[in-house]
Structure 1
Amino acid sequence: MTVYNEVVPSNYLEPILWAEAERMSSLALNDANFNSERDVVKEEYRQRILANPYGEFSLAIDQKSFAAHPYKRPSIGNIAELDAAQLPEVKTFHSTFYRPDNATLIVVGDFKASDLETWTKKYFGPITRPTAKIPRVTVAEPPRKEDRHEVLFSAKAPLPAFAVTHLAPSIRSEDEAALDLADEILSGGQSSRLYQSLVYEQQVAQRVSFSADLREDLGLLTFHVIVASGKSLPEAEKALDDQIEKVLKNGVSEAELDKAKNRFLTGKLMERETNNGKASALGEAAVIYRDPNHINTDLAKYQAVTANQIKEVLNKYIADKKKVLIEYLPEAKKEAAKPEEAEKP
């Protein structure tokens, strides 16, 4: 989902609707602005990915975790792909996807509904709806048949890191709320389970996180660890495995769940105090959940989650399920690796 966000005084609502309609119907594309914007994206890639010691590792997690689904391809691409892009491809992409029947307009603020309806029809109404169908992703990610182990090397990584991923359900799954709260319990802040055990008590990790990244088709449950200086990769991996086994076997406490609900719900409510937050939540409800009223019912699902549900969903998607282990090692560790494992991201 691509989002264009504008914040303007309410008396500028009409001109901003005109501008968005122009973006959709009459985008001016030429060699000059195409090359200029390509340079902008390349610089963004250099700063976000290449300059970050673990930037390429973050991209590699999806690339190595998905076998067939397009989720394995990062939306930013890479320098070679950006250099290979051609202006006609961009024009085709724009004409294919930038169309009224593939767009959702969200407006939040001080305006009259009758004015919004009039201006929307005035500026978006004349845009021709293409006859071609909107292409949709039809590739299905195959079930994992075995565990996989990937080893990558980097000259920039100061410390070893690793990630463990499991396939997760669609964001519209009935398990979404329980998985989101499990995310909060396991790695939400310095008092969370994984931080307390791996970083504070055992001191085998410099950083640890768990994310329940649910998406349109399917997602990933990802454990991510940067190993502490002076500690070994096997030590950190065992410490994580022990914590995973513990939560799968014993579940979580009511106190942990209550704290997670408070943190999660407080964050959501604070976001929705602003017009930007309301617009974002409405957009997600309409586009991702396919029901604008979802914004009025979603928080109740989180309040209803029980500690037993947290244990059940973690066992459902992690216990006895095939995993991908991705290790990201400093270049100096390459000599000790097997030849077939010596891959750079």
Structure 2
Amino acid sequence: MRRILFSTAILISGMFFSQQIKFEEYDLPNGLHVILHQDNTAPIVTTGVMYHVGAKDEIKGRSGFAHFFEHLLFEGTPNIKRGEWFKIVSSNGGKNNANTTKDRTYYFESFPSNNQELGLWMESERMRQAIINQIGVDTQREVVKEEKKLRIDNQPYGNLAISIYAHLFDKHPYSRNIIGSLNDLNSAKLEEFHTFYKKYYVPNNATLVVAGDIKPEQTKKWIEKYYSGIPKGPLITKNIPKDEPITREKEVTELDANIQLPAYVFAYRSASLKEKDTYALNMISSYLDGGNSSVMYKKFKDQEQKALDMGVNNDASEDAGVFTIHVIPMSNITKQTIQSDIDEEIKKLQTTLISQEDYQKIQNQYENQIVNQNSSINGIAEFLATNHVLTGKTNLINEEIDIYRSITRKDIQNAAKKYLNPNQRVIINYMPGKK
């Protein structure tokens, strides 16, 4: 049994800020990875399980399965009757939720610490013997259909993010959207849902995190009791196709009947969250759009008032990232003006080091962000699990602030040169109108 113990102390803005994120991790014989974080300052315990399965793991023609399971696996087990999951949690003073990305699916319960065992038992039930039957599938199809209508189909600019990934990736399954196709879900047979569950919802594809007001030795006994007997699943091999680098600028037009004003998006394929360049790209996004004093906010919304809305974001996933700049211009501002201004600011990044003052401001932003991220038990639990599942580096929770500090102004310039060139991007003209 492998056991590792870590702690850290963080220096923030010249002041010594003690934030020890201590944890212990080990593996059960069935392959389940366990992470324990003890914090007895409040009588709360979060139990979470992250499965290394997301939208990118779905087979063609069956999109939406990973997100669908986020709903389906609250239907119940032989020991938790249908419709009882949320009642059990709320009646015992807890809360629970789940979320899905392109790379993983995460479920958690937070209970008062005197109900810690209940959270461990419920997640073991989900892993061991979730009930997947036709009534559950049919019910959750309707739930997902309504979610899709609310969040995407009837939402202004609801399909914008979907369009970005669809045009930036061709072979790689990041081109698929997380919520998937209702046609794919409608045509799937019950046995296909069983197959997906048996393949991915196994201990050797999962990380269990227990964080908060725990007594580690007692917690380990409960983990042994509820999880050690769950059989190990078959070895999962992933052969994810890769796209060739983008070497020529591409421009596309998408229509949205729910909008009245066009949006222009400049999208670049960027580094994965495993690469150090991701941190430099995050800092670029903050430099360009990290508050009222940022470069593009001042240019587009404050001083020159060229945009009703704008934003810059670097979204890093397990295999690749997506760097986007979007602008909804004022009615009298042309797309050519917007593009010229964006190219001008990126060119400055590529040819001139940002000022020491701006550099320090960005450093402070990320130091504060990391401290805030680690200020709740829920946040710590999910971050620990995400780090292990997607990077294999659980201790990134303690190292990330030093990685940001290690990024130099030259690193920022080099990242802009490497990823943000016109021949590497897709321009999406997102226009009002029916498809």
2:301 pairs, out of 199, 217, 222, with 199
Alignment check: 8 A CA contact 1:177 1:301 kept = yes
Match in the other structure for 1:129: 232
| Residue 279 (structure 1) shift | 0.9
1:267 aligns with 2:369: yes
1:34 pairs, out of 113, 134, 137, with 137
| Residue 86 (structure 1) shift | 3.2
1:319 aligns with 2:421: yes
| Residue 248 (structure 1) shift | 2.1
Alignment check: 8 A CA contact 1:281 1:295 kept = yes
Structure 2 counterparts to residues 94-105 of structure 1, below 5 A: 94-105=197-208
Structure 2 counterparts to residues 41-120 of structure 1, below 5 A: 41-120=144-223
Alignment check: 8 A CA contact 1:184 1:264 kept = no
Counterparts of 1:112 and 1:303, CA distance in 2 = 35
Match in the other structure for 2:347: 245
Whichever residue aligns with residue 146 of structure 1, its letter is R
Whichever residue aligns with residue 31 of structure 1, its letter is Q
Counterparts of 1:211 and 1:202, CA distance in 2 = 22
> Which one has the bigger strand percentage?
2
| Residue 321 (structure 1) shift | 4.4
Match in the other structure for 1:339: none
Match in the other structure for 1:285: 387
> Which one has the bigger helix percentage?
1
Counterparts of 1:312 and 1:56, CA distance in 2 = 32
2:128 pairs, out of 17, 21, 25, with 25
Gaps of 5+ in 1: 333-343
Counterparts of 1:114 and 1:169, CA distance in 2 = 40
Alignment check: 8 A CA contact 1:285 1:291 kept = yes
Alignment check: 8 A CA contact 1:65 1:165 kept = yes
Counterparts of 1:86 and 1:162, CA distance in 2 = 40
| Residue 320 (structure 1) shift | 6.0
Counterparts of 2:333 and 2:184, CA distance in 1 = 38
Counterparts of 2:422 and 2:179, CA distance in 1 = 34
Whichever residue aligns with residue 81 of structure 1, its letter is D
Residue by residue over 1:263-322, the C-alpha shift from the partner in whole angstroms, topping out at 9 and shown as x without a partner, is 221121012111112112211221222122222211111122222221111111123642
1:214 aligns with 2:316: yes
Alpha-carbon distance change, 56 to 190 in structure 1, aligned in 2, over 3 angstroms: same
| Residue 28 (structure 1) shift | 0.8
Secondary structure of the 2:106 match is coil
Alignment check: 8 A CA contact 2:289 2:311 kept = yes
Residue by residue over 1:64-109, the C-alpha shift from the partner in whole angstroms, topping out at 9 and shown as x without a partner, is 1112100000110133333333322222111110000000011111
Match in the other structure for 2:260: 158
Counterparts of 2:198 and 2:342, CA distance in 1 = 47
| Residue 30 (structure 1) shift | 1.4
Counterparts of 2:414 and 2:330, CA distance in 1 = 31
Secondary structure of the 1:108 match is strand
Runs of 4+ in 1 over 4 A off after TM superposition: none
Counterparts of 1:287 and 1:221, CA distance in 2 = 23
Counterparts of 2:170 and 2:248, CA distance in 1 = 12
RMSD: 1.7
Counterparts of 1:145 and 1:173, CA distance in 2 = 21
Match in the other structure for 1:258: 360
Counterparts of 2:287 and 2:206, CA distance in 1 = 36
1:233 aligns with 2:362: no
Secondary structure of the 1:273 match is coil
Alignment check: 8 A CA contact 2:249 2:422 kept = no
TM-score norm. by structure 2 comes to 0.73
Residue by residue over 1:233-280, the C-alpha shift from the partner in whole angstroms, topping out at 9 and shown as x without a partner, is 222222222222222222321111211121221121012111112112
1:174 pairs, out of 276, 279, 282, with 276
Whichever residue aligns with residue 17 of structure 1, its letter is L
Alignment check: 8 A CA contact 1:104 1:287 kept = yes
Deviates further, 319-328 or 100-109: 319-328
2:285 pairs, out of 158, 170, 183, with 183
Alignment check: 8 A CA contact 1:42 1:82 kept = no
Counterparts of 2:260 and 2:396, CA distance in 1 = 44
Alignment check: 8 A CA contact 1:160 1:233 kept = no
Secondary structure of the 2:354 match is coil
Counterparts of 1:121 and 1:53, CA distance in 2 = 48
Counterparts of 1:321 and 1:169, CA distance in 2 = 17
TM-score norm. by structure 1 comes to 0.91
| Residue 155 (structure 1) shift | 1.9
Whichever residue aligns with residue 282 of structure 1, its letter is L
Whichever residue aligns with residue 126 of structure 2, its letter is R
